[in-house]
Structure 1
Amino acid sequence: MMNSENTCAAILAGGGSTRMGEDKGNLIVGGFTVEERIMEELGCLTSFVVLNKNKKSLFEIPTIPDVYEDAGPLGGLHAVIEARNEEWFIVSACDTPFIDRNVYQHLMRFICEGTQAVIPVYDGRFQPLSGIYHKSVSDELTALLQAGHRKVAKLLDNVNTYYVTDFNSLPKKTVENHFFNMNTPGDYELAQRMVKNQARSRHFP
């Protein structure tokens, strides 16, 4: 079963950030870069945290480039799983500054014998870049990429996937913030306001 010793957490940051216009992972939110914020939270789940990126990171973190160019998140997941020896892989996108370890721990509860992927479904949307994957998906990943496929959904269709739709045991705001992602400058401005509101609520409960 899954534990901190056989688990690697991966930040997928191989995209071009074209809509944002600059590297999303290097943007500052609440005094820290988005990459730093994600690294800190994932580090509470496992000591093995890596970054999938096609250029050098600003920080001391093992960085794994894509094997298949322009293959999107599917290519990033493939690169990490092929490069590492761990059995389980916790995934985060590079543009989700408010991820929460409790959401991942909730997902872990649904792992059972034969499970290859645990994927959250929030607000009616699949969230494969906030999922957990078993190393056994490696062969299917390679086959799909060699065939020219680029959609993570295709992988999920072809492996033993469990979809988690119930997050009622967690605070609603925690879950909502976990799945917030920044694609545009407007999203970045919203993230800045969210941080200010969080700080204000801590001081004035």
Structure 2
Amino acid sequence: MKKVGTAVILCGGKSSRMGFDKSKIEIKGKYLIELIAEKLETVFDEVILVAEKKDKFKTLKYTVLEDLKKEYGPAGGMHTALKYANSKYVFFMACDMPIVNIEYIKYMMKIAEEDNCQCVLPQNGKWIEPMYAFYSKDLIEEFEKGIDNNNLLLYDIIKNSKIHYIPEEVTRTYSEDLEMFVNLNYVKDLEILKKLY
């Protein structure tokens, strides 16, 4: 399969609930983000890490971007990645989301390309999953406006754009229990990694 497009792992966050930097979680001598990146590489020809400091992951082979606008949370990291990415559509996930569902990502990518939308967002009940989604470079200006106005809620930034929502029932055909949306927030959540690796 031809690999196309850009995937981004956001490696910021305070990790206050976990008590240590989640982006440095290690499994068998590798960072979790490396294992995530390796899976994303099977689909994408460009995998980028966004961190608060460019030298944070200097031992890794991946491009590491430093936030252009610091202290703006995920919105700042996404703005940075969208400006840098080589492809129109960028897939985003967070460094504490250990499950990469390749078939679902390919499904979302196809929607983005065929629907010519600006964002592909999975629905989860009444909520959306903004950290497992595709965004278009067309949204750079919207992110800049949100940051300039200190309105950093991702949905507020993109709500007026052309969004393709994926119904929860469709997502469940790819992942019955929606496990790919799991976050590692607390130390007890690390048990998930024992099952995966």
TM-score tier, shorter chain, comes to 0.7 to 0.9
SS in 1 for 2:35: helix
Distance 1:195 1:31 in 2: 15
When residues 192 and 10 of structure 1 are mapped into structure 2, their CA distance, relative to the original with a 3 A threshold, is: closer
Query: Percent identity between the aligned chains?
Result: 24
Unpaired stretches in structure 2, ≥5 consecutive residues:
none
Provide, for residues 107-157 of structure 1, a one-character-per-residue CA deviation record: whole Å limited to 9, x for no partner.
Answer: 223223440000111344311010001111111111111111111011221
Correspondence 1:51-62 to 2 at 5 A:
51-55=49-53, 56-57=56-57, 58-62=59-63
Q: Among 26, 36, 49, which residue is 1:38 paired with?
A: 36
- TM-score scaled by structure 2? 0.87
Aligned equivalent of 2:15: 17
Question: Who is 2:95 aligned against?
Answer: 94
**How far off its partner does 1:103 sit?**
1.6
Aligned pairs for 1:49-88 within 5 A: 49-55=47-53, 56-57=56-57, 58-88=59-89
CA distance in 2, matches of 1:93, 1:44: 18
User: What's the secondary structure of 1:162's corresponding residue?
Assistant: strand
1:116, 1:133 within 8 Å by CA — same for their partners in 2?
yes
CA distance in 1, matches of 2:193, 2:40: 21
Hey, what's the Cα distance between the residues in 2 that align with 1:144 and 1:195?
A: 37
Match of 1:27 among 25, 28, 41: 25
Deviates more, 1:43-52 or 1:17-26: 17-26
Assess if the C-alpha contact under 8 Å between 2:142 and 2:158 holds in 1: no
Q: Which residue of 1 aligns with 2:121?
A: 119
Q: How many Å apart are 1:96 and its aligned residue?
A: 0.8
Q: For 2:145 and 2:48, how far apart are their aligned partners in 1?
A: 24
**Alignment length, in residue pairs?**
190
Shift of 1:30: 6.3
Work out the CA distance in 1 between the residues paired with 2:91 and 2:144: 19
Match of residue 133 from structure 1: 135
Taking the aligned partners of 2:125 and 2:85, their CA distance within structure 1 comes to 32
Matches of 2:25 and 2:149 in 1, distance apart? 35
Q: Root-mean-square deviation (CA), in Å? A: 2.0
Q: After superposition, what is the alpha-carbon deviation per residue over 1:28-81, rounded to whole angstroms, capped at 9, x for unaligned?
A: 346642101210111111120000001321422111111222111111100111
CA contact under 8 A between 2:12 and 2:23: conserved in structure 1?
no
Which stretches in structure 1 are left out of the alignment for 5+ residues?
A: 197-205
